[in-house]
Every structure is written in structure tokens, then in C-alpha cells.
Chains A and B, each alone.
Chain A
Amino acid sequence: TQLLEQSPQFLSIQEGENLTVYCNSSSVFSSLQWYRQEPGEGPVLLVTVVTGGEVKKLKRLTFQFGDARKDSSLHITAAQPGDTGLYLCAGSTPGNQFYFGTGTSLTVIP
């Protein structure tokens, strides 16, 4: 089983602070996605990264794919209460299987 480990598992911060969530694996993935999930709903895709070393920015969110394509990070600048949710990374293999990370539960306190 190719397990994607996320850290931290839980994160509680004040509005306006910055944070970084990490997604690590011992396996190489074809590409990696980040999702956000809110209670009672399915995950919603935020971004896909496909090239080692790739950096993508989505407003206050910055996503990076490691050079070796085994790890990724999500950085949020000036967090807002609307950023609260469960953040999940997911990697795909050439065999079309998806492996999700263990999740990071983020709470942004107003």
C-alpha cells in the first residue's frame, strides 16, 4: 500500500496567520492533487500538479510538488475562517489507482 502521510493531522490557528501542510510518501506518483472537504460533503479538487518541482498558486494558496515527485506541500497565506476544512492530498499511479493522504483538519479562528 502506497500511503501518503500528511502533517500535521490537526491545525488550529488565528485568522491572518500563515500555515503549511505537508504530504509525504516513499513512492513516486504520476501526479498529485489537493482537495478540501467540508463536513457532510465530498472532497472538492483545489489543484493538480504533474511535474516535479512544479509550483502553483491559487489566490492565497501555494502548492508545490517535490522534485522527486514523492511529496507535496500546501501553503496558505493570511488564513481566513473560510479556509476551515479537511485538506487531503491524493496521488495517482500509472495504473490509474488513487491514494489519498490521511488528511489535515484546519480550523481558522476569527
Chain B
Amino acid sequence: EAQVTQNPRYLITVTGKKLTVTCSQNMNHEYMSWYRQDPGLGLRQIYYSMNVEVTDKGDVPEGYKVSRKEKRNFPLILESPSPNQTSLYFCASSLRGRLFAKNIQYFGAGTRLSVL
């Protein structure tokens, strides 16, 4: 079954304690991306990756890091989380980065993060 898997689904942490949210896809997709979703703001892109070892900043990259050492994995790292990073996070992948009519972006189920 084609899927994007995020872990954990829920996370409560404290300010300054480093954390990693993992993301894995089993579709051999080149493009992977992280988003955060906040009420009234929609989804905002944090980082994206066109392929292994290629990552780029999205709209709101401050306070986040990513790596793409393998094609299937794209972890999101918060080195020193702060309360304003409390949000719902989604990982997504698609075959290519360019949006052609049949290039579907698949989303994970989300990670709800609370930073106290």
C-alpha cells in the first residue's frame, strides 16, 4: 500500500529540548516536503527536497532543519523548539516536484506537536 508514514503522531515537549519527527515514503518518490498547519493560515511549506542530498527552504524554514540522506526518508529536526512551533505538521511526497496533471502529492496523517 502506497503511504507516507510520520512518527510520532502526537508529541508534547518542553522549550529547548531537541526533537526529530520522522517521515518515510514507500513509493520511490523524488520530491518530499514538510508543512505546518495553523488555524487561519492554512498549510505553510517549511522545507522541501527534490531528491537525495538536495533540500531547499520553503516559506517558513526558521527554527527547523531537514536532511535527505536516503530517498525514502525526510526527517524534520527542531534543534531548540519554542512554543511558537506548536502546530500540526505534515510530511508529503510526490513522484516529481513539478506539478503535472498526474503528479499526486501524498500526505502523511500528521504530527501534532505541543511545545510547553
Contact = CB atoms under 8 A, between A and B. Distances in A.
Determine the interface band of chain B, counting residues with CB < 8 A from chain A: 20 to 34
A100 B35 contact: yes
A40 B102 CA distance: 25
A41 B110 contact: yes
A96 B98 contact: yes
A102 B107 CA distance: 17
Contacts, number: 71
Given A88-B42, A92-B99, A97 B58 contact: yes
Given A50-B99, A88-B42, A99 B59 contact: yes
A59 B40 CA distance: 29
A42 B92 contact: yes
A101 B42 contact: yes
Nearest to A92: B99
B76 interface: no
A99 B100 contact: no
Interface centre among A30, A41, A97 (most CB of B within 10 A): A97
Given A42-B90, A88-B42, A96 B107 contact: no
A64 interface: no
Interface centre among B41, B42, B92, B98 (most CB of A within 10 A): B42
Interface string B31-46: 1010100001111110
Interface of B: 4, 31, 33, 35, 40-45, 48, 50, 56, 58-59, 90, 92, 97-110
